[in-house]
Amino acid sequence: MSKKIAILGSGAIGSSVGADLTKAEFDVTIFDQWPEHVETMRTKGLHIQFPDEDLKIPVRAHHFCELASVKMEFDIALIIVKSYDTRWVAELIKPYLKGEGVVVGMQNGMNNDAIASIVGRERTIGCVVELSGEIFTPGLVQRDTTRPGTWFAVGELDGSFTPRLKEIQELLSNVGVTELTNNIDGAKWTKLIANSMTMGPFGSFGLTNWEAAKLPGMFEISVNLGRESMAVGETLGYRMEPIFGLSEKEFSGASDEVLVTAMKTLMNHVGSKSTTAPIHDHIKGRKSEMEFINGLVSKKGREMGVPTPFNDAVAELARQIDQGELQMDVSNFDLLKARLELAGQAEAASGRVEG
């Protein structure tokens, strides 16, 4: 493939993707908004530490503000920024897309429609990402998932299997196992369900994923979070989709069994010592994207008349931490349980009144 590829956002995931595609000799240009990281990539390249490999590779990197001056047009743009940065990044790249250029949203959350509203549905491809890593030092990424342990699903918004979709599959296969789906929105909501069960609550406690999962009663809370997220998704018309490389058989069974399978598979992929993204964001002094995970479940639940007390409580904790009203600490687990108990009491009282 001789096409020009833009990586828009080079956090842990964007850097990992950019390094692997550069290693595979694609024409890749990386753009980011962290000045020190960009300058380090320019002078020293990227250093990706895998569990099974140590990759050091020169890359082409630019600041976002240099996009106009590099005088390039791109065939493929991979958006790999936080959900709250989606719209401005899509607007930024739009003038630099070639006539047949496509944008692939490689993010958590449900951002396909936002991207499509800016560059057009005919130029938008969706992607579900399972690649775990962290970056705190410019130019240095600790990637927790190996290439065989990394998983993507890509899909056209209309569910068709097109030559360009297969081209994106071939491209991302240099980074991890990549599958095609005719249900990209369903697959992305299924990933959101798994994230709502883990990323949101665990990110409030400041613990590793496995430490948080072992807190007494956390498993039951995670299952309830997943039930709510699944109910909202079904009301919105999304169809659950096997993700993380699971087969139809592995992803079958009762609803709770599917939820637990998704949650445990996600946690096994990222490893026992990993911490979730909101913790990384907190350490870096920036807001998390829980507004687009548990917060989105709460918002859509209100719109559709589906009660979401568990997601409401998690989203509010995340908001308070982002606003500096709470510290990220394991004591928030007791606060979460207390709020859920109050929500349960309020629901019971409402039921008595209605009865």
In the listed set 162, 182, 202, which residue is the last one of a domain according to the structure? 182
Same-domain pairing of 212 and 91: no
Number of domains within the chain: 2
pLDDT of residue 349: 47
Mean pLDDT, consecutive 10-residue segments, the chain of 355 residues?
Answer: 92 98 98 97 98 96 95 96 97 96 97 98 97 95 94 97 98 98 95 91 89 90 93 93 74 73 75 77 89 97 97 96 93 94 64 47
Joined tokens for residue 16: 């990992």
DSSP letters of 141-172?
EEE-S-TTT-EEEEEETT----HHHHHHHHHH
Same-domain pairing of 167 and 204: no
- Euclidean distance between CA atoms 21 and 171, whole angstroms: 8
Same-domain pairing of 333 and 216: yes
What domain range includes position 282? Answer: 186-354
Same-domain pairing of 172 and 197: no
Same-domain pairing of 82 and 200: no
pTM score:
0.92
Cβ contacts of 52 within 8 Å, gap of 6 or more: 146
Same-domain pairing of 155 and 213: no
Same-domain pairing of 77 and 65: yes
pLDDT of residue 352: 43
Closest CA to 64 of 10, 119, 123: 10
Same-domain pairing of 67 and 170: yes
In the listed set 182, 214, 231, which residue is the last one of a domain according to the structure? 182
CATH number for 126: 3.40.50.720
Same-domain pairing of 157 and 99: yes
pLDDT of residue 252: 62
In the listed set 182, 215, 233, which residue is the last one of a domain according to the structure? 182
Same-domain pairing of 160 and 24: yes
Q: What single letter denotes the amino acid at residue 124?
A: T
Same-domain pairing of 58 and 151: yes
- Spell out the alpha helix ranges (H) of the chain: 12-23, 35-44, 86-93, 112-119, 163-172, 184-202, 209-213, 218-236, 255-270, 277-283, 294-304, 309-322, 332-354
Same-domain pairing of 178 and 193: no
CATH number for 190: 1.10.1040.10
